Structure 1
C-alpha cells in the first residue's frame, strides 16, 4: 500500500513539474500560478480581472489542491479572495474539479484547469460554491480585492511582483483621490465666491 501511494506521489510530482514548466513557457491569459515551495500538490493562483468584465481591476487569489493520484484524479478548487462569483474557501463544483472525477481527463493540465476556471468565472451559470451578486457588487469587490490580498501572507510571499503592482496601484489610487478632493474643493470655493458676489450685487 505504501509503495503504491509513493508511486502515485512521484507521478503527481513529475507531472506537476512538467505542467509548471509548460505554464512558464506559455502563460495562461489573465492567470498566474505557483506551487507552494514546501508542497507541490498545493498550488495558488491569481486571476487578474479581464477588461470589460465586472472583475476588471481586481486580483483574485485561490488555490488548487491536487491528489497524489494526479493526473488520474482532478484537484479541489478554491477561491480565497471575495469575488461576488464564488464562495470563499469552499470547494467549487466544476467539471474540472474533484466534484466530477467521472468527466475528468488525465490529459488535462494545470493550464487547462485555470483556463476552465476563468471561463466559468466569467459566466453566470450557478453551481455548488457559486453565489449571485450584481455587476455593481462585483465591481466593488474588485476594488476591495487589492487591499484584501495584501493581508494574505501566502499571497505576498508567492506573488511578490503582483504584490508590488498592487501596492503601486493603491498608492496611485490614494493620490488620485487626494487630487480629486483638492479639485472639488477649488470648484466649491469658486462657486461659493461667485454666490457671494451675486448676493453682494443684489444687495446694492
Structure 2
C-alpha cells in the first residue's frame, strides 16, 4: 500500500511540475529536488507596489507520501517580516489543516495560496508582526541572503545570476552617488574658499584706499597749516 501511494504521489508531482513549467505561477518559481521529488523549493518574488517589492523569498514544500490525499508542510527560509523562518506554517493549504485540504489542489494552487496569504496581515501560527519599514529592509537584504544559501543557488541558478547582476548594479549606483556627493562637497568648499579670498581681497583694497585718503588728508592739512603760518607772518611784518 505504501509503495503504491508513493508511486501515486510521484506521478502526481511530476504532472504538477510539467504544469508549472508550461503555465508558471505569477511571481513564483518552484522546482523539486533531483534527489527527492517529495521536497520542492520555491522562490517568491515580491509583487510590485507591495511591502515585499524588490525581494525574493526562498522556501520549501515537503510533501507526504500520501499526497495528494494529504497536504504538504510549508516553510519559509528567507527572512521576510511576515513568517517565521524554518518553521512549519499554519495555513489552510498546509498539513496543519488536513480537514480543509482538497486532493484536487495542485502545487500551483498551494503556491498561489501562499503568496496570497503572505500579502495579507491575518495572524496565524508561524506568522510574525513587523513594521512596514522592516519588511522593506528585509526585501532589500533578501538577495544577498539567498546567494549565501547553496540550496537556493543550486535550485535557481538563473535567478541567482540575476540577483548577482542586480547587486552589482546597486553597488555601482552607490559608488556613483558617493562620487557625486564628494564632488558636490569639494565644489562647495572651493566656492567657500573663493568667497573668503574675495572678501579678504576686498578688505585689502579698502584698506589701501583708506590709507591713501589718510595720507592725502595729512598733506592737505600740512599745506593749509603752512599757508596759514605764511599769512600770519606776512601780516606781522606789514
Deviation of 1:178 (Å): 0.4
| Structure showing greater relative contact order (alpha-carbon pairs closer than 8 Å, 6 or more residues apart) | 1
- Cα RMSD between the aligned structures? 0.7
Corresponding position: 1:8 with 2:5: yes
**TM-score (normalised: structure 2):** 0.83
1:165 aligns with 2:175: no
Largest Rg, 1 or 2: 2
Partner of 1:197: 194
Q: Deviations over 1:14-70 (max 9, x none)?
A: 000000011111100000000000000000000011111111111100000000000
Q: CA deviation at 1:200?
A: 2.3
In 1, distance between residues paired with 2:12 and 2:152?
24
Match of 2:143 in 1: 146
**TM-score, L = length of structure 1:** 0.97
Q: Which residue of 2 aligns with 1:91?
A: 88
1:44 aligns with 2:37: no
Equivalences for 1:41-190 in 2 at 5 Å? 41-190=38-187
SS in structure 2 of the partner of residue 74 of structure 1 = coil
Kindly tell me the number of residue pairs found equivalent between the two proteins. Answer: 201
Secondary structure of the residue aligned to 1:13 is helix
Runs of 5+ unmatched residues, structure 2: 203-238
Question: Aligned partners of 2:101, 2:197: CA distance in 1, in Å?
Answer: 79
Provide the C-alpha distance between the structure 2 equivalents of 1:125 and 1:199, rounded to a whole number of angstroms: 62
In structure 1, the gaps of 5 or more residues are: none
Q: Following the alignment from structure 1 to structure 2, what is the Cα–Cα distance between the partners of residues 163 and 7?
A: 37
Greater shift after overlay, 89-98 or 194-203?
194-203
